[in-house]
Amino acid sequence: VQGVGFRPFVHRLAVQCRLAGRVANTTDGVVIELEGDENDVARFRRRLTADAPPPALVAAVNVESAPIAGRTKFAIDASDAEGGVGIRVPPDLALCAACRRELFEPGNRRHRYPFTNCTACGPRFSIIERMPYDRSRTTMTTFTQCQECELEYTSPSDRRFHAEPNACPACGPAVALWDRNGDRIAGRADAIPAAADLLRRGFIVAVKGLGGFQLLTRADDEAAVERLRRLKQRPSKPLAVMAPDLAAAERLAELGPNERRLLTSAENPIVLARRITGRLPDAVALSLNDIGVFLPTTPLHELLLAELRGSVVATSGNRGDEPIVTDEHDAVTDLAGIADVFLVHDRPIRRRVDDSVVSVIDGQVAIIRLGRGYSPLPLPALEEFDGPTILSLGGHQKAALAFWNGRQAVLGPHVGDLDSQPTRAAFDRATDDFASLYRCAPEVIGCDLHPDYFTTRWAEQSGRRVISVQHHHAHVAAAQVEHSLLKREVLGIAWDGTGFGTDGTLWGGEFLRVKGARIRRMASLLPLPLPGGEAAIRHPGRIAFALLHVIGRPLDSPLLERLGVAQRQASILSAMLQRGVQIAWSSGVGRLFDAIAALVLPLAEATFEGEAAMRLEAIADPNVGEAYDIPLRTFGALAAGESAVPRGDWRLMIAAILADLERDMSPAVIAARFHNALVGWAVKCAELHPNLPVVFAGGCFQNRLLTERLATALRAAGRECLTPGLIPTGDGGLAAGQLAVAMARLDAERWGGKGAQ
Ligand SMILES: [Zn+2]
Ligand SMILES: [Zn+2]
Ligand SMILES: [Zn+2]
């Protein structure tokens, strides 16, 4: 309940109920001591939960008697700074309605002040140095409040009472506009209008946001968007659009009630929604149906977009896959050659947090990327555990950490792809940060089974006890945490690109029965050959080539051209496939998407992860009900040490797709039949394991069409079925699952259970 004006609320309530006592933030949560008439105490107790301010979540109230201290007043005590942290670290919150009103109110002392905030809004997680949350332990400590601010901060009836980052133009942070060399070209009152003017003229402005820099350019200016793509070397990955208000967002995308609620929520995520064609240049979303939209995050963004009177494309302020820049001096060097100017300020960002990305799937919020507003995400389902402290490291791409400090379990924000050295350094810092923020060093490290992941090597070198967890087991366990299903056995459908299997092969089209630490692989996809190993991911054309080779289909030159495979390369690939050299085998459904996209779209090269699946989903005709057939067949063991499990056999489907292409069937119909084929296969597999709840896990379930079709089909067959929610279903949620499995194994060891794998 921290950082949302809860202590001030308690103070007001106590005064209204004529009670003396005190309220304090402690490591156990909020502690309230009350003295007074019994009826007044009872009234207080009722209203404490009933009238709590909207962002506060009262998880539990424990009442105990204590000796009378003889107090005559009610006071807010300074925060108690001892011991391990049991209270939640509050997330950053977007500008609230009351502060927005003041921002645009001439004569208000905060009129057009870009750092206005109150107990219902403003920075939290991104500025906290240490817990408990208090101004003296944030990056606001260097700003001394003026008399007026101090009065608000100490007046129980004021909505800025204990608003920790409270500030005004007289005492708080200030904005400035810098040129490419970091020289100041405009300050305070002029900086935002000058930046808006440059945006209007098509320039790229780097803005210091809440959790890091963003690169903005005008969304309706095709040349500006193309220039941003070129300079950021981001040729085709979709870009998010920040609209000045909800009405503007509604002109860009089809928004339902869920999407509208998300856009205006305090979490302020980027919301994926179907774009309305013709409103923005194609360079923004390229060939995808969905567009990511969001509303201004901070008063600074609010003022900038109001001045511009238009939408901007907003992408993270980083180079390639490196972490987002948080310091304005670093920005001048790190974003050189991309940004034309820098809109900066002097409130330090203590902790990097990317913008969150969410999508409404199967009627609920599914977080695609966990960041600002949602992180750190509490994992209450794991908090009954009473064993050692655990840090789990997640996967390799989209790495994120999860932590159990003995009191609370949380999932941290997206860190990034651990291929680059700067991201690895950021990952190192994030592990230290977790330990210091939650005041506890981990005793056990949870990680993936993949021997080559940076996180696995990190775990091995940590000198602590390591518990490695199979990739898809972790995905399914994360879904169990999400839906509080840890005590039940579930059938997990775990589909993604690639994860290391217990038999040393690459998995990713899995049906797993999971209960606690125990996993049983019940079915999988017939493995696909990947010529050249995992590098084939960037060349879907080569995967399609390999599948055609498997079904014995001769590759004539039109077909080779379609797959983007040159004649010379074709002979090399054929030789590799015939001899079985440099071939990795993967049962990843994501790889099947790659191959089908290469055949149908076509898509010879993929420039970002998930491109094939996103584009196939985008073209699929939702009115098509027919499906290709993926029969379930049992073969012998396909790899040494592997147990023979029934396999979804895609070979007939590939032949059928080729036939459909030859008779010029529309790609929209073929793509839909392919989605439906996966649904049919999953329903058949689920029938073999009746009575178990079915959970969806893995990156493939970011695909709304696939997820909703499969959920509908399973429910029609009377199955209980749970789809992705707040824990990312992709690799960003792996750490939460690793934490759950590590706890289950430690429990099994302790209680002598047979669960350990
Ligand atoms: Zn506010
Ligand atoms: Zn002030
Ligand atoms: Zn995965």
Ligand 3 centroid to Cα of residue 288, in Å, is 23
Q: Can you say whether the dihedral through the CA atoms of 198, 200, 202, 204 is positive or negative?
A: positive
pLDDT of residue 753: 53
Ligand 2 centroid to Cα of residue 607, in Å, is 48
Ligand 2 centroid to Cα of residue 166, in Å, is 8
**Residues 6+ away with beta carbon under 8 Å from 50:** none
Helices and strands: H and E segment counts in the chain: 23, 29
Of the two residues 684 and 604, the one the predictor is more confident about is: 684
Measured distance CA(94)–CA(120) in Å, rounded: 9
Ligand 1 centroid to Cα of residue 120, in Å, is 5
Half-sphere exposure of residue 114: CA atoms within 13 angstroms, side-chain side: 30
* pLDDT band at residue 6 under the 50/70/90 scheme: confident
Compute CA distances 325 → 207, 209, 344, 466, 728, whole Å: 10, 10, 12, 32, 24
The residue type found at 386 is: D
**What digits encode the pLDDT tens for the residues 273-312?**
999 988 898 888 777 889 999 999 999 999 999 999 999 9
Whether residue 83 has pLDDT greater than 60: no
Q: Would strands 646-648 and 518-525 be described as parallel, antiparallel, or unpaired?
A: parallel
pLDDT of residue 505: 87
Region 101-112: mean pLDDT is 97
* pLDDT band at residue 370 under the 50/70/90 scheme: very high
The share of the chain scoring above pLDDT 90, in percent, equals 78
Average pLDDT, the chain: 92
Ligand 2 centroid to Cα of residue 158, in Å, is 14
Q: Which two tokens stand for residue 248?
A: 């503007």
- E strand or H helix that includes residue 226: helix 222-232
**What digits encode the pLDDT tens for the residues 408-418?**
999 999 999 99
Whether residue 79 has pLDDT greater than 60: no
Q: Which two tokens stand for residue 43?
A: 């009234």
Question: If DSSP codes are grouped into helix, strand and coil, which group holds residue 651?
Answer: helix
* pLDDT band at residue 756 under the 50/70/90 scheme: very low
Ligand 2 centroid to Cα of residue 731, in Å, is 43
Q: Which ligand minimizes its atom distance to the CA of 160?
A: 1
pLDDT of residue 439: 87
**What digits encode the pLDDT tens for the residues 679-696?**
999 999 999 999 999 999
Q: Which two tokens stand for residue 394?
A: 């997640």
**What digits encode the pLDDT tens for the residues 123-181?**
999 999 998 889 999 999 999 999 999 999 999 889 999 999 999 999 999 999 999 99
Ligand 1 centroid to Cα of residue 266, in Å, is 10
Ligand 1 centroid to Cα of residue 311, in Å, is 23
Nearest of 500, 374, 375 to residue 447 by alpha carbon: 500
Question: If DSSP codes are grouped into helix, strand and coil, which group holds residue 672?
Answer: helix
Q: Which ligand minimizes its atom distance to the CA of 152?
A: 2
Measured distance CA(532)–CA(582) in Å, rounded: 5
> Are 103 and 76 contacting, i.e. CB atoms less than 8 angstroms apart?
no
Ligand 1 centroid to Cα of residue 118, in Å, is 4
**What digits encode the pLDDT tens for the residues 38-72?**
899 999 998 988 888 777 777 788 888 877 777 88
> Are 405 and 85 contacting, i.e. CB atoms less than 8 angstroms apart?
yes
Whether residue 4 has pLDDT greater than 80: no
Please report, to the nearest 10 degrees, the dihedral formed by the alpha carbons of residues 107, 109, 110, 113 taken in order. 90
Measured distance CA(300)–CA(306) in Å, rounded: 10
Compute CA distances 721 → 303, 490, 692, whole Å: 44, 10, 9
Give me the residue label for tokens 């969150």: 356
pLDDT of residue 430: 94
pLDDT of residue 237: 87
> Are 388 and 443 contacting, i.e. CB atoms less than 8 angstroms apart?
yes
Ligand 1 centroid to Cα of residue 111, in Å, is 13
Ligand 3 centroid to Cα of residue 585, in Å, is 16
The residue type found at 592 is: L
Compute CA distances 359 → 270, 469, 613, 655, whole Å: 8, 28, 16, 34
Q: How far apart are the first and last CA of the chain?
A: 38
Ligand 1 centroid to Cα of residue 297, in Å, is 12
Measured distance CA(165)–CA(389) in Å, rounded: 32
**What digits encode the pLDDT tens for the residues 193-249?**
999 999 999 999 999 999 999 999 999 999 999 999 999 998 888 899 999 999 999
**What digits encode the pLDDT tens for the residues 332-367?**
999 999 999 999 999 999 999 999 999 999 999 999
Ligand 1 centroid to Cα of residue 384, in Å, is 35
CA angle 370, 374, 379 (to 5 degrees): 90
Beta bridge partners of 514: 490, 519
Ligand 2 centroid to Cα of residue 151, in Å, is 9
pLDDT of residue 755: 44
- E strand or H helix that includes residue 507: strand 506-515
Q: Which ligand minimizes its atom distance to the CA of 147?
A: 2
Nearest of 503, 508, 543, 432 to residue 731 by alpha carbon: 508
Region 503-513: mean pLDDT is 94
Q: Which ligand minimizes its atom distance to the CA of 735?
A: 3
> Are 182 and 176 contacting, i.e. CB atoms less than 8 angstroms apart?
no
Q: Which ligand minimizes its atom distance to the CA of 171?
A: 2
**What digits encode the pLDDT tens for the residues 624-674?**
999 999 999 998 766 655 668 999 999 999 999 999 999 999 999 999 999
Q: Which ligand minimizes its atom distance to the CA of 146?
A: 2
Ligand 1 centroid to Cα of residue 55, in Å, is 12
pLDDT of residue 286: 77
Ligand 1 centroid to Cα of residue 113, in Å, is 12
Ligand 1 centroid to Cα of residue 215, in Å, is 25
The residue type found at 302 is: E
pLDDT of residue 392: 98
